[in-house]
Amino acid sequence: MVPISSAPAVGELAPDFSLYNTAGRRVSVSQFRHTQHVLLAFFPLAFTSTCTAELCAFTEDFDQFTTQDVTILPISVDAVPSLKEFKAKYAMHVDLLSDFKREASRAYGVLREESYVSKRAYFLIDQSGVIRWSHIEDTAHNRRENSEILAAIASLKG
């Protein structure tokens, strides 16, 4: 059994990973260093009500994130084909990342070992690769509103 890790703390260097996205490309946190801030948004499962609302909200506010030099990386344990269908069904603007082997979820301490899905969690990483804000939900039915996330992003500039 793989040991359970704890979530990295604000002020720590973000753990790197390499996952496939719905466009068929490998994506890692480190590729955005010195160019973009990154919002990692772990979500439990595609096609569930809270996850759908959350990802559709990212699409609705997409421009507010991109004008702040933030790349959103939504991550779930679903396989790429499922994520492709989820993205297409709801016309999402962001590519979704598949953590099918649960490596990123474990590295960020958000894997629920008993159900083998990740917790809903957010990690805001600045351009130098340091975690500047994070939040892990108590239950899968809760999610942060984009206004709270955008306020955390605004604090990166001040």
Q: Where are the beta strands (DSSP E) in the chain?
A: 19-21, 26-27, 37-42, 70-76, 97-98, 111-112, 117-118, 121-125, 131-136
Contact 155, 133 (CB under 8 A): yes
Query: pTM for this structure?
Result: 0.91
- Convert the pLDDT of each residue in 113-123 to its tens digit: 888 999 999 99
* Residue 153 · residue 132 · CB < 8 Å: no
Candidates 96, 102, 130; CA nearest to 117 is 102
Cα 67–Cα 69–Cα 70 angle in degrees, nearest 5:
105
Q: Which stretches of 67-155 are DSSP H helices?
A: 80-89, 103-107, 146-155
Name the residues annotated as catalytic.
51
CA distance 100 to 53: 22
pLDDT at 146 over 90: no
Average pLDDT of the residues in 28-57: 92
Look up residue 13 and give its DSSP letter.
B
Q: In this model, does residue 1 exceed pLDDT 50?
A: no
Choice among 12-21, 116-125, 130-139, 149-158 with the minimum mean pLDDT: 149-158
